[in-house]
């Protein structure tokens, strides 16, 4: 309404000239006159009957066009096809030669507000509550199953049955062979069911050693004498080698150093630590006496002797050059002589060369053998090297000879664990004891025993610690 007002406003025009008179709108006057003339021709409507003038309107009354807000209008407008698309609208009157066309349904973008308004769903909170109820019902069932301990892995299919991933995804299985395998793979990946190929190195064996190592026949609960002796011999051999190694280490480390008594050691330590510190008893004057005369000179002096710039004389240089030349000549001569001598011993040289070649060949062979051997050995996977666990053996006196009194020697769990390490499946580790934080303990003052002071307790503790240390420190000589 507000927008229409300016249109009804009378326009003011200048009427200065005669020509400007034409600008005046005389339509209303003309209209009036015309109406009068018409009345004269056909009479006024007071003369006419009502029936002539009015018609009974039998058609249902049309509702007044709804007054839409701008927002609503916009929404309606949004439903209309876009201006830019008007050019694309088919305005042709020619009939479509194709009778039936496939409808291409446009994808909706975003929410369809109108649709939502037209058929509203349940109120959200009501829906949510219903959902939650269902959820908890299901949950309680699941919990009941879990508590009864029946939740076991579901094994109800043969996983090794040959199956194509294309069977599972609808549309990828085509009898006509139109969809290549590559395409199917691609599609599967994009659908979210990616087919992952395991690479071959995952199945490679890291060691050539046999998986199952037969137990030594001497490990029988009732072994034959020969087998048992063999096993014992093996154990002894291994133990001996261990002892030998240990002894070697001891010889190379501990016994290499001279040993002293603790008293001597303490004394030495004291001496070493107090090196350069003046002792109380000795007079300080001795040092001072030595230092004094130098400081008295007040001149700069160093410990090292002064550097001299010794120059060789020209004659000496010449002599040196000559010597060098002579040396070179001598060497050349010697080489020539050797060459001629070699001509004579060409046979032995050939032998030498051959020997060398043989040696190299041998070395190559040995290296190859070592590499081959290494394939059977345990790999070094971590910081610690794998060490073969001890052999399990019953000592002769433990052999009962019947099943009732068998003495089990090994621990199967440890055995398996070591086997996994041996087969390069686990890195060898050493269990680390977690260090406990050092906590200083002392009695609370409120719990102090009468007559025992904190000082006294501390002294006692210190004395005990010192005694313990003294005990542990004694070294045999």
Partner 1 sequence: MRRPKKYEAGEATQYISRRAALRKLQLSLNDFRRLCILKGVYPREPKHRRRAQKGSSEIKILYHTKDIRFLLHEPIVWTLRDYKIFAKKSGRDRAIKDFRNLKRRLALFPEIKLDHIVKERYPTFIDALKDLDDCLTLLFLFSTFPSLHLIPREQSNLCRRLTIEFLHYVIASKSLRKVFISIKGYYFQAEIKGQKVTWIVPHYYPFKPQSRQEVDFKVMSIFVEFYTIMLGFTNYRLYHGLNLAYPPQFPSSMLQDNEETLKDETSFVSERIAALNFELLRTDKVQEDEEEPDIDMELLEQDGDSKRIIKMKQEAQEIARLRNLFKGLKFFINREVPREPLVIIIRSFGGKVSWDSSVFSGSTYDESDETITHQIVDRPSLSTQYISRDYIQPQWVFDCVNQRQLLPTNKYFLGEELPPHLSPFVDAKRDTYVPPEEKALHDPSLIETHAQSDDESDEEEAAQNEDDTVDQELLDAQLQRAYQQETAEYKKYGGPDGVNEDEEDTDDDFDGEQESDEEEEELDEKTKRLQEEKKKMSVQSGKVHKVNKRQLHKAEVDEHRLQARMVKPRHRNLFRKLIREKQSKEKEEWLLRKKRRNIDNDTKEAKKLVKREAKKAAAAAAAAASQLGVK
CB 223 within 8 A of CB 232: no
Rg of the Cα atoms in the chain:
57
Q: Alpha carbon of 99 to those of 102, 319, 345: distances in Å? A: 10, 119, 108
Using the 8-state DSSP alphabet, how is residue 4 labeled?
T
| 220 is a site residue for partner 1 (CB under 8 A) | yes
Burial pattern 229-267, b for ≥16 Cβ within 10 A else e, equals eebbeebeeeeeeeeeeeeeeeeeeeeeeeeeeeeeeee
| 155 is a site residue for partner 1 (CB under 8 A) | yes
Q: Which stretch binds partner 1 (CB under 8 A): 43-51, 72-80, 142-150, 347-355?
A: 142-150
**Which residues between 86 and 125 bind partner 1 (CB under 8 A)?**
none
CA separation for the pair 56, 211 (Å, rounded): 109
| Residue 352: HSE in the Cβ half-sphere, 13 Å Cα cutoff | 6
Please, which residue, 401 or 443, has the CB nearer to partner 1?
Answer: 401
Structure tokens at 311: 């120059």
Structure tokens at 161: 């049955």
Q: Which of 70, 61, 63, 79 is nearest to 118 (CA)?
A: 79
| 7 is a site residue for partner 1 (CB under 8 A) | no
Structure tokens at 407: 């003495």
Q: How far is the CB of 333 from partner 1 (least distance, A)?
A: 48
How distant is the alpha carbon of residue 278 from its chain centre?
Answer: 62
CA separation for the pair 193, 169 (Å, rounded): 9
Q: How far is the CB of 165 from partner 1 (least distance, A)?
A: 12
Q: How far is the CB of 192 from partner 1 (least distance, A)?
A: 11
Q: How far is the CB of 434 from partner 1 (least distance, A)?
A: 12
Q: How far is the CB of 274 from partner 1 (least distance, A)?
A: 40
| 63 is a site residue for partner 1 (CB under 8 A) | no
Please, which residue, 169 or 179, has the CB nearer to partner 1?
Answer: 169
Q: How far is the CB of 391 from partner 1 (least distance, A)?
A: 11
| 223 is a site residue for partner 1 (CB under 8 A) | yes
| Residue 285: HSE in the Cβ half-sphere, 13 Å Cα cutoff | 1
Q: Which of 44, 9, 10 is nearest to 24 (CA)?
A: 10
Q: How far is the CB of 396 from partner 1 (least distance, A)?
A: 13
Site string for partner 1, 396-435 (x = CB under 8 A): -----xxxx-xxxxxxxxxxxx-xx---xxxx-x-x----
The contacts of residue 295 (CB under 8 Å, 6+ apart) are: none
CA separation for the pair 188, 195 (Å, rounded): 7
| 139 is a site residue for partner 1 (CB under 8 A) | yes
Q: Which stretch binds partner 1 (CB under 8 A): 56-64, 109-117, 134-142, 257-265?
A: 134-142
| 133 is a site residue for partner 1 (CB under 8 A) | no
Q: Which stretch binds partner 1 (CB under 8 A): 9-17, 149-157, 262-270, 289-297?
A: 149-157
Q: How far is the CB of 299 from partner 1 (least distance, A)?
A: 55
Please, which residue, 12 or 404, has the CB nearer to partner 1?
Answer: 404
Q: How far is the CB of 251 from partner 1 (least distance, A)?
A: 27
Angle between helices 314-344 and 346-376 (to 10 degrees): 90
Structure tokens at 412: 């199967």
Q: Which of 391, 428, 26, 4 is nearest to 219 (CA)?
A: 391
Q: Which of 11, 122, 383, 469 binds partner 1 (CB under 8 A)?
A: 383
Residue located via tokens 């000879």: 401
Q: Alpha carbon of 233 to those of 218, 230, 240: distances in Å? A: 11, 5, 10
Residue located via tokens 């949004």: 78
Q: How far is the CB of 215 from partner 1 (least distance, A)?
A: 5
**Which residues between 177 and 206 bind partner 1 (CB under 8 A)?**
194, 196, 198-199, 201-202, 206
| 226 is a site residue for partner 1 (CB under 8 A) | yes
Please, which residue, 184 or 424, has the CB nearer to partner 1?
Answer: 424
Please, which residue, 362 or 377, has the CB nearer to partner 1?
Answer: 377
422 burial via Cβ count (<10 Å: 0-12, 13-18, 19+): buried
With CB under 8 A as the rule, give the number of residues binding partner 1: 68
Q: Which stretch binds partner 1 (CB under 8 A): 120-128, 217-225, 347-355, 461-469?
A: 217-225
- Binding site residues, partner 1, CB under 8 A: 136, 139, 142-143, 146, 149, 152-153, 155-160, 194, 196, 198-199, 201-202, 206, 211-212, 214-217, 219-227, 379-383, 392-394, 401-404, 406-417, 419-420, 424-427, 429, 431
């Amino acid at each position: 309404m507000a927008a229409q007002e300016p249109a009804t406003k009378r326009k003011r025009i200048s009427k200065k000239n005669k020509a400007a008179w034409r600008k005046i709108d005389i339509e209303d006057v003309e209209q009036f006159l015309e109406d009068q003339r018409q009345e004269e021709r056909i009479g006024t409507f007071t003369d006419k009957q009502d029936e002539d003038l009015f018609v009974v309107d039998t058609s249902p009354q049309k509702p007044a066009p709804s007054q839409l807000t701008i927002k609503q209008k916009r929404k309606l407008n949004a439903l209309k096809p876009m201006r830019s698309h008007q050019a694309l609208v088919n305005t042709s009157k020619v009939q479509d030669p194709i009778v039936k066309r496939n409808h291409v349904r446009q994808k909706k973008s975003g929410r369809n507000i109108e649709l939502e308004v037209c058929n509203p769903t349940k109120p959200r909170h009501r829906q949510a509550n219903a959902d939650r109820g269902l959820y908890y019902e299901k949950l309680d069932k699941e919990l009941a199953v879990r508590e009864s301990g029946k939740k076991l892995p579901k094994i109800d299919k043969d996983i090794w049955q040959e199956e194509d991933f294309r069977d599972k995804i609808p549309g990828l299985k085509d009898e006509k062979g139109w969809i290549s395998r590559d395409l199917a793979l691609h599609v599967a990946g994009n659908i979210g069911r990616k087919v992952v190929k395991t690479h071959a190195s995952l199945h490679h064996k890291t060691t050539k050693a046999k998986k199952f190592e037969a137990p030594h026949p001497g490990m029988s609960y009732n072994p034959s004498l020969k087998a048992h002796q063999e096993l014992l011999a093996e154990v002894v051999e291994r133990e001996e080698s261990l002892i030998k190694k240990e002894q070697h280490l001891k010889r190379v480390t501990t016994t290499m150093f001279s040993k002293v008594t603790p008293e001597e050691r303490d004394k030495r330590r004291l001496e070493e630590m107090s090196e350069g510190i003046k002792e109380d008893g000795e007079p300080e004057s001795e040092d001072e006496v030595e230092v004094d005369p130098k400081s008295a000179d007040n001149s700069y002096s160093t410990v090292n002797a002064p550097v001299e710039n010794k120059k060789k004389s020209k004659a000496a240089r010449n002599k040196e050059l000559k010597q060098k030349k002579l040396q070179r000549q001598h060497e050349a001569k010697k080489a020539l002589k050797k060459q001629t001598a070699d001509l004579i011993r060409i046979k032995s040289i050939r032998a030498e060369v051959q020997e060398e070649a043989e040696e190299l060949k041998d070395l190559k062979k040995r290296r190859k053998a070592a590499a081959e051997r290494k394939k059977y050995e345990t790999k070094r996977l971590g910081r610690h090297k794998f060490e073969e666990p001890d052999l399990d053996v019953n000592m002769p006196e433990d052999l009962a000879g019947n099943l009732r009194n068998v003495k089990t020697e090994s621990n199967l769990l440890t055995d398996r664990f070591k086997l996994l390490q041996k087969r390069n499946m686990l890195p060898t580790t050493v269990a680390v004891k977690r260090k406990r934080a050092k906590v200083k303990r002392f009695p609370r003052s409120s719990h102090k025993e009468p007559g025992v002071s904190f000082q006294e307790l501390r002294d006692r503790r210190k004395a005990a610690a010192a005694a313990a240390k003294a005990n542990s420190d004694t070294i045999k000589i």
